[in-house]
Amino acid sequence: MKPAPFRYVAARTLDQALQLKAEHGDEARFLAGGQSLVPTMNFRLTQPAMLIDINPLLELAGLAEVESGAIRIGALTRYGVLERDPAIARNLPLIHEALPLIAHPQIRNRGTIGGNLAHADPASEMPAIVLTLGAKLRAQSVRGERWIAAADFFAGALSTTLEPDEMLTAVELPVAQPGSGACFMEVSRRRGDFAIIGVACTLTLDADGRCTAAQIGLCNAGDGPVFATEACDALVGQPVDAAAIGAAADSVRSAIDPGGSIHGSKEFQRHIAGVLTARALAVANERARQ
Amino acid sequence: MSTDSDLMAGADTHDVTVTVNGTAYRRTVEGRMLLSDFLRHELLLAGTHVGCEHGVCGACTVIYDGVAVRSCLMFAPQADGHAIMTVEGLAPDVEHMHPLQEAMRECHGLQCGYCTPGILMTMKAFLEENPSPDEAQIREALSGNLCRCTGYQHIVAAMKLAAERLRG
């Protein structure tokens, strides 16, 4: 199908884009990679009155190491670029491992991290990853800028706490520390499909192999990305052995409330979440020891 | 040539200047015109096929500023000032087909041919970046292009052959 009529504006500056959004609010949408927005427009599920194309705003693309051991990724940075960037492989191994599982090469060549996060699909990988890593997201508007913790950014399916005049312009992620290991795993029906369940985790170990910090997040396990707080708390202070991993998997299985779909019932999703949690923790544990 | 956009008084129209297969074109189109429709209906380059029109099938894949993208998920005005290569740009004529096209013919990599332009453009960009792929990498690269005829075996064989010939 074809999109309903709208007014297209190619932004010349960030200020102009923010000014237009301030004027038009929810009637206007920012167009980044368009890999989620345009399909919904082609189906006429989304009919914005105005599209503000931010693709010309190259200052929103790219990544930089910032003080305090974090990497800042501009919202317009495309997944194809992140996939090929050795700085991501080195510093954000969780993202590096997940990227090839996000849709297909052609989609990743166009799709952006900011668009993916602002779209806030609960089945999508990146919202779960930024939640898992405790990332911060930068929102800008004509009123100024603010940083939002990932835990405060997602507000249910396809919904965020961005105000109608705000643009997500960057995400800042803590780099992986020595003594830590990360792992991302998912199960999907076909290569590139949305995950039935996906699990992201990191483990940090002390010299004795005891867990000093654990992060576990899931995609498609609820109406937004899910952080498995109880499972993480129970791992801290423990050696990461089979019993601890099994307990974490049980905790995740019972904590989540997946929606179920034709691809898998709630019960199946819960089962997969437990299996993937155990497998991902075991891999992260191995990687943390290396 | 009269287009819908000419007929719609007050419509959201934009001048688009774009280079496709080395030729510069200029058209005035509605902002909502998909790039795939722009290529087919405005430039009459109908080699780019439209299958699902929501980014799933890959038939509309073109090379945009050097990378393979879905042309059904972009609007024509976005291409203003950019360079595109479509399947028509692969070979000057049937006597001088691109090694990818020759390999597809020799290996029977197509039956109905609907998905073929998208596969050719995907794999052209892929083989330029990865001249010596293994079979798993070829299959991964093909994962965003649906073919309902071949079962992919012959396409994979064609890509192996094409990669070998392109390496020279």
| CATH assignment of the domain containing B47 | 3.10.20.30
Read off the pLDDT band of B10 (50, 70, 90): low
Lay out the sheet containing A50-53: strands in order across: A7-10, A50-53, A28-31
Q: Say if residue B109 is in the same domain as residue B76.
A: no
Is any Cβ of chain A less than 8 angstroms from the Cβ of B61? yes
Interface of B with A in 129-148 (CB under 8 A): 140-141, 143-144
B31 inside 8 A of chain A by CB: yes
- CA torsion through residues B25, B31, B36, B40, sign: negative
**Minimal Cβ distance to B12: which of A8, A43, A109:** A8
Is A192's CB within 8 Å of B69's CB? no
Read off the pLDDT of each residue in B36-51 and give the average, rounded to a whole number.
Answer: 98
Out of B30, B34, B141, closest to residue A105 by CB? B141
Give residue B7's pLDDT: 46
Nearest to A105 among B12, B55, B144 (CB): B144
Token pair for residue B33?
């015109």
Range of the domain at B117: 94-167
Q: How far apart are the C-alpha atoms of A66 and A73, rounded to whole Å?
A: 10
Q: Do A6 and A50 touch, CB atoms closer than 8 A?
A: yes
State whether B33 and B110 are in the same domain: no
- CATH code for the domain in which residue B109 is found: 1.10.150.120
Whether residue A252 contacts residue A200, with contact meaning beta carbons closer than 8 Å, is answered with no
- pTM, entire model: 0.96
CB of A219 within 8 A of CB of A128? yes
What pLDDT does residue A1 have? 83
Q: Identify the structural domains of chain A with CATH numbers, from first to last.
A: 7-53 (3.30.43.10), 58-174 (3.30.465.10), 180-289 (3.30.390.50)
What's the alpha-carbon Rg for chain A, to the nearest Å?
A: 19
- The verdict on B16 and B58 lying in the same domain is yes
Last residue of a domain, one of B89, B106, B130: B89
Instruction: Indicate the SS3 state at residue A35.
Output: coil
Q: How far apart are CA A167 and CA A162, in angstroms?
A: 7
Q: Are residues B80 and B151 in the same domain?
A: no
| CA dist., res. A241 & res. A258, Å (int) | 27
Q: How many Å apart are CA A188 and CA A264, to the nearest integer?
A: 10
Q: For residue B11, give how far its alpha carbon lies from the nearest alpha carbon of chain A (Å).
A: 8
Choose one of B66, B89, B112: the last residue of a domain. B89
Of B75, B78, B122, the CB nearest to A106: B122
CB contact under 8 A, B55 and A105: no
User: What is the pLDDT tens value at each position of chain A, 290 positions in all?
Assistant: 899 999 999 999 999 999 999 999 999 999 999 999 999 999 999 999 999 999 999 999 999 999 889 999 999 999 999 999 999 999 999 999 999 999 999 999 999 999 999 999 999 999 999 999 999 999 999 999 999 999 999 999 999 999 999 999 999 999 999 999 999 999 999 989 999 999 999 999 999 999 999 999 999 999 999 999 999 999 999 999 999 999 999 999 999 999 999 999 999 999 999 999 999 999 999 999 98
Distance CA B108, CA B102 (A): 10
Residues B148-155, mean pLDDT to the nearest whole number = 96
Residues of A in contact with B69 (CB under 8 A): 106, 109-110
Q: Are residues B102 and B76 in the same domain?
A: no
Do residue B83 and residue B8 come from a single domain? yes
- Measured CA to CA in angstroms, residue A4 lies from A21, A115, B30, B35 at distances of 20, 21, 11, 15
CA-based max dimension of chain A? 63
Handedness of CA A182, A236, A196, A222 (dihedral sign): negative
- What's residue B2's pLDDT? 41
Question: Which one, of B145, B101, B99, lies nearest residue B122 by Cα?
Answer: B145
Q: In the prediction, which pLDDT does A67 show? A: 82
Residues B85, B117, single domain; the answer is no
Within this chain, do residues B46 and B99 fall inside the same structural domain, yes or no?
no
Give A75-91 pLDDT, tens digit per residue. Answer: 999 999 999 999 999 99
**Among candidate residues B68, B89, B110, the one where a domain is terminated:** B89
Residues B98 and B120 in one domain: yes
Looking at residue B11, what is its pLDDT?
Answer: 81
Does one domain contain both B47 and B104?
no
Question: Mind telling me how many Å the CA of A105 is from chain B's nearest CA?
Answer: 7
Burial of B144 (0-12, 13-18, 19+ CB in 10 A): buried
For residue A1, the chain B residues in CB contact (below 8 A) are 53
Total domains present in chain B: 2
Position B1 pLDDT exceeds 50: no
B103 with B148, same domain: the answer is: yes
Statement to judge: residues B15 and B79 lie in one domain: yes
